Structure formats: structure tokens, C-alpha cells
Structure 1
Amino acid sequence: MVIEKKTTMQLVCFSHLAWKFVYQRPQHLLSRFTKKYDVYYIEEFIYSTEEDGYSINITNENVTVIVPHLCNSIQEVRNETKRKEIILKNLFKEHSIQSYIFWYYTPMALAYTVNFNPLATVYDCMDELSAFKFAPPELKKYEQELFKKANVVFTGGNNLYKAKKAQHHNIHSFPSSIDKAHFKAARDNKKEVADQSAIPHPRLGFYGVIDERFDIDLIKQAADAKPEWHFVLVGPVIKIDAATLPQNKNIHYLGAKTYEELPSYLSGWDIAMIPFAINESTRYISPTKTPEYLAGGKPVISTAITDVINPYHELGLVHIVQNAEDLLQMATSELSITDKSEWLCKVDEYLSTISWDATWGRMDELMQNEIEANPNLLTDKINQYV
């Protein structure tokens, strides 16, 4: 697909995730949208001692990140929804945001954006957020409203698409994709990162958020059974008590790393893991790390996540296990294989069919189709703030 030159439109995204938290789907897509649009990424409101307002940071990808804040003084605790709307209106006025598309990751933002008039509304439903720990009880209600308002809906995986497809007439599945060049660098990297260099082999590694979706018991049981193996866990611990994590000498918690650092850690592993618990919070996930691990040339062992089974396991690219015993057996078998060339050819053949560039290009095409199919959107809504 040929991408048109940059438009005069703005793409305004509302997200439940901080831009600097973990580099994942929103960052991959929105950084690419800057090729055509002025992109504003609005994080969730925080409380501050300052007057109602917002701070701004422009990323290296040229995304304007907005962190809006509400004054938490007693005198100012009133009608928060209206105050959020006023802050947003001020932002639009000060930055001349007049011809804009709304892109939602969090349906909760509908509460303070209902009076705006975007050229089009997009819902990129990347996860079943209502199943996550500490999800707001009203999230499902706002999602139903968002389905009614959205011109087009995207889902973060095929299983999630199946669950949502009856709720919208224009819904499309866009599973996790890959920046192949970034992670393929792990295949040739010979330099060890400092905090991983002293860890003996074999190493079984994971990077990502360690939260309620992570199967702590699986790792504990595997580490207990194989004290000579080493389990390397890279990523922040959130929404769970870090004190509940197993403290075996062969389990290594290396903390959060940047997106740029991940291939260097991946290159030092013998096997990459996707050790998610099988529960409601993981029922619809499509782990971005699956194609990333594969691009890095590492054998992948995963628990039975639906969007990993199909397509990755069915294509013979990823091993699926049910428990710690399966994990140890599969890892033992994989560690004995010295020639992975045939498997790598299959990996590269599949990865050649997907990319974040192709994903965002197709998303933009679907979005533009909606605007062009409704010319009144341009004439009735352009230059309107409310």
C-alpha cells in the first residue's frame, strides 16, 4: 500500500497505558501514524497539587504525549468529568486541534469526550480490559457506548475478534505484529548485557509485565525441579505483591528494560518463555512477544494461550505446554537440538507475512474509507470543538 503525504488531520488517542511504561501495540502503531497525522497521546488523568491542566512531552517518534492532571485540593473536588472535558477543550484550542480523529484504547475516556465531534471514531480493542485486575466496574458499560459511536473497531487478536464481532458492523482483527529488524538483531548479538552475563546456562527467559496474568506457580515448580537451570525474568512487577514471587537462587528478576535493550537480553537466552496463567485475564490476549521471540531466533515455549496456539503452534513454530512437567520435558528436548536451520526457515517464512508497517497501513486505509464514505463528516464536523 502506498502511504499518502501527511494530512492536516490530527489523531487523538486516549489510552489507559503510560507511553513510557512498556513499548507495545499503542507505541508501535501511533509512532507510525505520525507519518500522516499530528498524533496526540492522552494518558489517564492523575491527581496533582497544581491547578487543573496538563503537561506535554514530545517523543523521539514525534508523538505529543499529554499527561492531564486534576488538582486534588478539597476546594477543587467537584464534577471531575466536566473538569476533564474543560482541560481537553483547552488543549484543543491551544494546539489548534480542529480536524481530528478519535482513537480509543480505553472506553473510560468516553465519559469526558462525549461532547466532541471527531471526523471519525476508532476503537482499537487490544485486550478484554474488563477481565484485568482492578478494572473499573463501569468499563463494560462505556465499551458498549463506544461500540455504538465507533466508525470502525480493531481487535488485538483473533480470539478477541470472535468474542466481539457480533457487537459492531465494521470490526477487523489485527493480531500482534513485529518489527523484524529490531528483534532479528538478537541472532547476531554476541555481547552480553552486564546484569545477565554472570547467569549460567541454560537460560529460560521471559520479558514483559509480571502481573496477575503471569503463572508464578509454573515458574516456581520448574525452578524447584531443575536447580541447575536458570529462569531470567525481565520486566516490571505490577498489580501483584512482589513479595509473593518465588525467590529461588535460579530465578533472576532483572527489572524493567527499554524496548531498545530487549534484543540484547533475548540474545543471551537458550529458550524464550510465555508462561501466562490460563484464566479470564489471558483468555483473549495476543502476546506481542511471540513473533518478537521468533524473530530473535529463539525456541519458544508457551502455555495454552489461544492466539499462540493459532497460528504459531499449528504452524509448528511454538511449543505449547500445560504444566511445569511439560515445560521441563519440552525444554530438555529443545536444548538437545543443535541444528535449528529448518525451523528458522519456517519462522522467517511466516514472519515475512506480518509487520507493524503493514498493520498500521491497513488500519489507516479502513479509517480513511469511513471518512470518505461519509463526506458530511468533513463538512459538518471540521473546525468544531464541541
Structure 2
Amino acid sequence: MNTIGLRTPRFNLHDFKRTVQVIRSWIRPDAKFRARSEDRASQVANACATPSGEAPVMPYIVNPVMWPSFRGPTSAALNHHLLSSAVHEALKNVAPGKHPVLVSTSPIVPGLFRDHIFKRKVYYCVDDFTHWHGIDGPAMHRLEQETLQACDLMIATSTSILETRSPHANASTLLTHGVDLAHFSSATPDPASPLAALPHPIVGMFGVFDQRVDGQALKAAALLSPQAIFVVLGPVVDRDPGEFRDVPNLRFLGAVPYADLPGHVAHFDLCILPYVVDASTWNINPLKLKEYLATGKPVIASPLPEAMRLGAYLTLAAPEAFPQAVASALATQGAGAPAHQSDARTRLEAFLHSESWEAKADRFLTDVLDDL
């Protein structure tokens, strides 16, 4: 089920375009959306194919009509009615007479967690939405508290989320993000990438570039190391790239397909994660951290709790120390790896193998289907 975004739309071009896309998906999915959905469904189906050759179950994607707000009891009740109706209608088509399991990463519709049609209800908490920029924090907190109280299990993706949410849930467990090790560890530089024409060293980051990125630390790092090219791969959301117009060695190259991402990242000499350290980031577990590590490139990250848990495999740098940490890492490039670094790499590879998405999926299913 594709639900509405967590942030109430504002009067700007980005939100207007997004609103048009959502409304079109309600009326009739266009060719681009349909192709993207079918491509994703095909990927999931291939991943779920059984050794015996049995036909896998294809995902059934629903885009329910919803009111673009969750503030106040009236909006909450309306969205519960709209979403619940869409869910029940979909279940009639794909699972008649069955007792489904509800898994949701969104806390905005707690009414679904009180629906007795579900045999088990799981809240998969992947972020602290109450501190997102542009979110109505008190409203989100209220809805999430209702969701926590109604769910059978809360699965947290970070230790901070587990610690803050588990006292309010009936049961909880920790399941951190995994990594597609084969996808990121064996890539070679893509000659068609725009990065292929850039001089080295290249300092890069990928993912959504939003308010959680520490722009000041990134700008200071680029200015302190003018001999390097700093590259951002990913969409820019709620930020104006113009704030970096005075940084000539910083490039924003936009989003690239996930399948092609390793070929671009293979051009990096150093991976960075300059996040602000505040309430909006303290509970997150950035997916890209383990993906960075899987590339074999050196990694410098802000000291968030989940980054600190991986401190044996990367360099932690507070905002004020970030520029110098980048400069020091660039200065030691090509100096040859000492024996202890080789041992560290062996330990890292063993750790990443244990963190595969396949292992996480097995654990996820065990937790979700427990006692059923």
C-alpha cells in the first residue's frame, strides 16, 4: 500500500508536481509509473522464486486515495476510513477468506492496527519521524504512540529507536539494516559515468540530500581540500544547491538507478556521511553506511549512534573536525595498507557477510510470523 507522505504539502513547485503525480496514480497509473511498479514487482518475484521452480506470488500494489494531512481527529478518521476501505477491497481480490498480517513502516494510520481482520500487526520503525523537518512533531508523536500501543510487535532498525519506543510497545526487537554485499563489493568503475571524466581524488556521498546533511561541514571540507572533487549522487530535497555556489569543487549529479550506483561509486576515493548531529538524525540507521563499507573505500561519518557501532571499520568525525578528517584521509591515500589494516579488512568482510539482506529477511520473517 502506497500511503501519503508524512509531510503536509506546501505551496511550492516540488510539492505541486508530487501532488499531481499522486492524483494521477489515484485515477490511472501512467506508463512510467506502471513500468516502474512492474519492474519492481519482477525484481521481488525473481528474489522470491523457489528452488522447485514454483511460480512466485507477484506483489499487488495499491495507491489509496487519502487526505494530504494527518493533523487532528477529523483528518485521522478520514484517512483511516479511506485506507481501511482500500485495504479491505484489496484483500478481497488477493486473499479472500485469509487472515492477513499487517506490516507498516508508517505510523500515521493507527486505526489499521486496531482492525481485527489482521492476525498479527507489526510496526517496522525505520526512523524517528517525530523529528523530521517539516513534520508536525506533536501530531506524529500522538499517532505513533497509538500505533505502538496497538501493534503486536515493534521492529526497530536502530538501538536508539529500540530504547525510546520499546517501553510503549507490547513487544519489540532490534533488526538493523542489511547490505547487498555482492552488489557493492565487486563493482568496477563505469566508463559511461560522468565521474569518469573527473580528476582524482574524488570524495563522494550518495542518497537523499536534505536537511539532515550538514551543509556547513561539507562546504568546509571541500574548501579545505580544493585539489579534490566532491560529488553528491542523489535527489536534492528541501535544499537549494545554490547555497554551495561558492564551492567550485562541489558537484551535484542527481539521482542514478540503484542498479548502476556501484559503477559510479567505484570512482570514489573516499566516501563521506556528513550528517548533522541532532534530534532529526540521532535515531536513524543510514542504509548507505554498510553500502559504503562494502565498496572497500575508506569512510568518514558523523558520530551518530549507528555509525559509532561501526566505529571499528570507519572514521568518526564531529562537524568541527570533519574537514580536517577528510583532508587527512586524502593525504594518506596511496600510502599502502599496513598489516593491521589488512586484518581490519578481513574482519569487516566477515561482518558484512553476516549482515546480508538475505540474513535480515530470514530474521524478519521469523519475527513477523512468530506464534502464527
Percent identity of equivalent pairs: 21
What amino acid does structure 2 have at the position aligned with 1:194? Answer: S
What amino acid does structure 1 have at the position aligned with 2:232? Answer: L
Counterpart of 1:196 in structure 2 is 195
Counterpart of 2:60 in structure 1 is 64
Counterpart of 2:207 in structure 1 is 208
The answer on whether the counterparts of 1:303 and 1:320 sit within 8 Å (CA) in structure 2 is yes
Give me the whole-angstrom Cα distance separating, in 2, the residues matched to 1:246 and 1:343.
Answer: 39
User: For this pair of structures, how many residues does the alignment match?
Assistant: 325
Counterpart of 2:159 in structure 1 is 158
The answer on whether the counterparts of 1:267 and 1:296 sit within 8 Å (CA) in structure 2 is yes
Report deviation, 1:247: 5.0
Report deviation, 1:274: 0.9
Give me the whole-angstrom Cα distance separating, in 2, the residues matched to 1:51 and 1:321.
Answer: 45
Q: TM-score, normalised by structure 2?
A: 0.78
Report deviation, 1:96: 3.5
What amino acid does structure 2 have at the position aligned with 1:180? Answer: L
What amino acid does structure 2 have at the position aligned with 1:89? Answer: H
Equivalence map 1:332-351=2 (5 Å): 332-339=330-337, 341-351=342-352
Of residues 6, 23, 29, the one that matches 1:48 is: 23
Counterpart of 1:127 in structure 2 is 127
Q: Deviations over 1:279-322 (max 9, x none)?
A: 11110111111111111111101111111111x11x2x100112
What amino acid does structure 1 have at the position aligned with 2:302? Answer: T
Give me the whole-angstrom Cα distance separating, in 1, the residues matched to 2:263 and 2:22.
Answer: 37
Counterpart of 1:320 in structure 2 is 316
Does residue 218 of structure 1 match 2:214?
no
Counterpart of 2:106 in structure 1 is 106
Give me the whole-angstrom Cα distance separating, in 1, the residues matched to 2:116 and 2:206.
Answer: 39
Name the SS for the 1:48 alignment partner. helix
Q: Deviations over 1:207-241 (max 9, x none)?
A: 01100100111111111222111101100011233
Counterpart of 1:92 in structure 2 is 91
Change (3 A) 1:289 1:274: same
Give me the whole-angstrom Cα distance separating, in 2, the residues matched to 1:334 and 1:159.
Answer: 34
What amino acid does structure 1 have at the position aligned with 2:154? Answer: V
Give me the whole-angstrom Cα distance separating, in 2, the residues matched to 1:152 and 1:45.
Answer: 35
Counterpart of 2:180 in structure 1 is 179
Change (3 A) 1:181 1:165: same
The farther-off stretch of 156-165 and 250-259 is 156-165
Report deviation, 1:13: 8.2
The farther-off stretch of 325-334 and 263-272 is 325-334
The answer on whether the counterparts of 2:3 and 2:66 sit within 8 Å (CA) in structure 1 is no
Q: Which structure is higher in strand share?
A: 1
The answer on whether the counterparts of 2:273 and 2:302 sit within 8 Å (CA) in structure 1 is yes
The answer on whether the counterparts of 2:272 and 2:299 sit within 8 Å (CA) in structure 1 is yes
Report deviation, 1:342: 3.5
Report deviation, 1:367: 2.0
The answer on whether the counterparts of 1:159 and 1:284 sit within 8 Å (CA) in structure 2 is yes
What amino acid does structure 1 have at the position aligned with 2:216? Answer: D
The answer on whether the counterparts of 2:80 and 2:109 sit within 8 Å (CA) in structure 1 is no
Q: Which structure is higher in helix share?
A: 2
Name the SS for the 1:106 alignment partner. coil
Report deviation, 1:163: 2.0
Give me the whole-angstrom Cα distance separating, in 2, the residues matched to 1:258 and 1:269.
Answer: 17
What amino acid does structure 2 have at the position aligned with 1:352? Answer: H
The farther-off stretch of 168-177 and 62-71 is 62-71
Give me the whole-angstrom Cα distance separating, in 2, the residues matched to 1:70 and 1:144.
Answer: 21
Counterpart of 1:234 in structure 2 is 233
The answer on whether the counterparts of 1:108 and 1:142 sit within 8 Å (CA) in structure 2 is yes
Counterpart of 2:272 in structure 1 is 273
The answer on whether the counterparts of 2:25 and 2:63 sit within 8 Å (CA) in structure 1 is no
The answer on whether the counterparts of 2:84 and 2:112 sit within 8 Å (CA) in structure 1 is yes
Give me the whole-angstrom Cα distance separating, in 2, the residues matched to 1:50 and 1:274.
Answer: 34
Report deviation, 1:164: 2.0
The answer on whether the counterparts of 1:53 and 1:68 sit within 8 Å (CA) in structure 2 is no
Name the SS for the 1:127 alignment partner. coil
Equivalence map 1:30-45=2 (5 Å): none
Report deviation, 1:52: 7.2
Give me the whole-angstrom Cα distance separating, in 1, the residues matched to 2:225 and 2:26.
Answer: 55
Report deviation, 1:196: 1.0
What amino acid does structure 2 have at the position aligned with 1:109? Answer: V
Residue ranges of structure 2 left out of the alignment (5+ in a row)? 7-18, 46-58, 69-74
Give me the whole-angstrom Cα distance separating, in 2, the residues matched to 1:71 and 1:151.
Answer: 27
The farther-off stretch of 129-138 and 281-290 is 129-138
The answer on whether the counterparts of 1:52 and 1:70 sit within 8 Å (CA) in structure 2 is no
Report deviation, 1:202: 0.5
The answer on whether the counterparts of 2:221 and 2:327 sit within 8 Å (CA) in structure 1 is no
The answer on whether the counterparts of 2:125 and 2:155 sit within 8 Å (CA) in structure 1 is yes
